[in-house]
Amino acid sequence: MARFLARRLLQMLPVLFFVTLIIFALINLIPGDAARLFLGEEATPDAIAALRHEMGLDQPLYVQYVRWVGRMARGDFGYSFKDHRSVLQTLLEKLPVTAELTAGALVIAWAVAIPAGVLAAWRQRTAVDYGASAAALGGLSIPNFWLGIMLIYLFAVHLRWLPASGFVPVTENLGRNLRALLMPAFNLGIVLAAVVMRQLRSSMLEVLSADFVRTAKAKGLAQIVVLVRHALRNAVIPVITVMGIQLGTLLGGAIITETIFAVPGLGQLAVNSIYGRDYPMLEGVVIASAVAILLVNLLVDVVYSLIDPRIKLAGSRS
């Protein structure tokens, strides 16, 4: 296991190099001078020149790159152009909110997708199957931000059941926290549910026609036992990979969901830093999301090997 992890981490290095290179290229494509953006419009040319020197902006690009990577390795992600606070600190403050929202979305997605996917495959080519498949395709076709607006209109404006915004931290009041996050989590979870349901349906179909399922049925095991213990357990493996891939979609969806429901997480931070031209902050969010995806993909590989003993760790190469 340790060797497998070490190997996977080593494989991540070149990818990480390109990740930093892409972000560095993006930063340098930003029109305007970072020192001027940091000091504001009224800054004197002398002050700008001094800060440029201090920030190393007068150095060649590759020197800037090496220093920038070095700073990040030490946990220094720079300072916000807006409030001049540490980017890392702000990221860490916002992270739990997005983590809670994403976790809620995952729970909702699984709760909807697993029964729907299993039923659709089990009752293939029936009304249940067509209904569930069409609903999933619909879920993929509805823009997330519009679904959010419609949810607000229905549950907050029309029925007045749930608050449209007004996030309450868990530490303050759990009940109100959950009430505030219910709609956002549903909004974020529904797209994922559609993806997972489609994947689960097709892998269930494959597994259900396998010999071991026929054997289990022939043994006279109850339908539900065959479905859950035999079929689902095997069908869920490709779904986990899809989940890993979908984390990116989930984090992107969090941007939309947090903006619409005014949830103060990383997504809202990203949009606000785009509007405010707060590039160090935007850079921080982009780096954080890329690192999160890298780590989750590693985690998926490990979980994969734990669920399916047929997959040998040492030999696996993604």
Partner 1 sequence: MSLAVRALPAAAAAARDRRGALRLARRFARNRLALAGVVVFAVVLLAALLAPWIAPYSPTKTDFTSYLQPPGSGRHLLGTDELGRDVFSRIIFGSRASLEAGVIAVGLGMIVGVPLGLVAGFYGGRLEDVLMRFTDAMLCFPPLVLSLAVAAVLGPGLGKAMIAIAVVLMPVFMRLMRAQVLAERGREYVDAARVLGAADRRIIWRHLLPNSVAPIVVQGSLNVAGAIITEATLSFLGLGTQPPTPSWGSMLNAAQQYLTQAPWLSIWPGIAIAVTVFAVNVAGDGIREIWDPRTR
Least Cβ distance, residue 300 to partner 1 (angstroms): 13
Q: What is the C-alpha separation between 182 and 134, in angstroms, rounded?
A: 25
CA-closest candidate to residue 280, choices 76, 61, 96 = 76
Which residues partner with 86 through β-bridges? 79
Nearer to partner 1, 104 or 267 (CB): 267
Least Cβ distance, residue 177 to partner 1 (angstroms): 24
Is the separation of the CB atoms in 161 and 155 below 8 Å? yes
Is the separation of the CB atoms in 183 and 261 below 8 Å? yes
Count CB neighbours of 137 within 10 A: 12
The amino acid at 34: A
Nearer to partner 1, 227 or 256 (CB): 256
CA-closest candidate to residue 95, choices 292, 315, 274, 248 = 292
Nearer to partner 1, 119 or 194 (CB): 194
Least Cβ distance, residue 137 to partner 1 (angstroms): 6
Binding site for partner 1 (CB under 8 A): 14-19, 21-22, 26, 29-31, 137-138, 140-146, 149-150, 152-153, 157, 247-253, 255-256, 259, 270-271, 274-275, 282, 285-286, 289-290, 293-294
Least Cβ distance, residue 46 to partner 1 (angstroms): 28
Least Cβ distance, residue 87 to partner 1 (angstroms): 15
The amino acid at 221: L
Nearer to partner 1, 114 or 152 (CB): 152
CA-closest candidate to residue 306, choices 67, 4, 79 = 4
Least Cβ distance, residue 160 to partner 1 (angstroms): 12
- Kindly provide the residue ranges of all beta strands, DSSP E only, lying in 96-237, ordered along the sequence: none
Nearer to partner 1, 302 or 307 (CB): 302
Q: What is the C-alpha separation between 97 and 259, in angstroms, rounded?
A: 13
Nearer to partner 1, 182 or 286 (CB): 286
